[in-house]
Structure 1
Amino acid sequence: MTTTLTHPSVRRVLDRLFAAAAHDDEQVTDLADPRAFLAAPDHERAESRAEVYMPISAAGGDLLYALARSARPTTVVEFGTSFGISTIYLAAAVADNGTGHVYGSELSTTKLAAARDNLTEAGVADQVTLLPGDARQTLRDVPGPIGLVLLDGWKDACLDVLRALEPRLAPGALVVADDTTFDSMADYLRYVRSPANGYVSVAFPVEDGMEISCRAS
């Protein structure tokens, strides 16, 4: 059985973007520790990395697709669209489900324009609305109930974004956080792993780590 994820236009875009991201990895050495950026405003931090991909892994993308196909969420929210790699996986799942919509957020205007072009080239732009600006503000108007969240923006902001979305999370909603091996994700992990905060959470062993949390209460 074929899926949107295996369509030639989608594979062509993903292969090109992953190849470019792999080239980035050879040149960037400070992304695992955002402390060097904390003194600057978020917008300046985003534009200083406007040419850097920082994507999920291919295995992480396949996992996102599978989770979205299984959960069949009406609303998907993505914090940190970057060049749109993870967005393509989510949009492909929504397209194959025949229902739902993806709302992505991106602070860098350079990346936002590139992501729009990549989604159009892949043929999945109709499934996605991209919101420019600080996700802690722009995601406030995304309609609930939200069934799936991907947190892959600035790591020190992931917990703030999650808390802002919590009132609109559907019962059983899935929250996926990327790069959980980074020290800057420690507060986030403590939060979702504490039963008092209403999640059942498990670490998933893909590149740089993912945390999959179910909104259980």
Structure 2
Amino acid sequence: MVKDFRSSIPPQITLLSRSVVFENTVFSVFADHIADNSGHQVERYLSVLPKYLVDDSIAGVAVIPVANERIGLIRIFRHPVGRWSWEAIKGHVEPDENIQAAAVRELQEEAGFSVLPDALLDLGFTAPEAGVIKARTRLFAVDVEQSAARTVAGELGHGEMVFYSRGEIEMLIAEGEIEDASTLVLLFKYWFQQHERP
């Protein structure tokens, strides 16, 4: 068993001041003046805070639908990097919504699959960009009925959803077609959990 040292280590960085740089309905962006215990300082450290967090800094969910041992990924164009990639279904938890309900809603909205919350396989957490964003993502997989390619409607930059075998996904990763950190961690955790099952 790995010991958790996080609770026994005092905070290493102190927030000296904070200025709002930008806000929208989902995020607040700050320029923080911070200092560590050795006296090092950064006067405009970029910090992004989601407007809504639940249970230990969870701001979002990522979920992969699985059908006949094939994993569904969505083709998405990401404006900041100007590239297409294959990604898990992802989204923010809304106010007054628990994490499982958010995963079920995102699965329905982005891929058209209806599942019950207790059908979700909980695969833990990831911190997509812990150096900048105060947010963790809860990871899930869920068995679904359909495994054919399908069109994903209603989301900016979203293309089709395709179900891939593990070998095909490994090839997509090797070719740089899957770069999203949350998707990569989710795939790893899902495959690791499947391998560890009795």
Q: TM-score range by the shorter chain?
A: under 0.3
Would you tell me which structure has more strand in proportion to its own residues? 2
TM-score, normalised by the number of residues in structure 2: 0.27
TM-score, normalised by the number of residues in structure 1: 0.25
* Bigger Rg, structure 1 or 2: 2
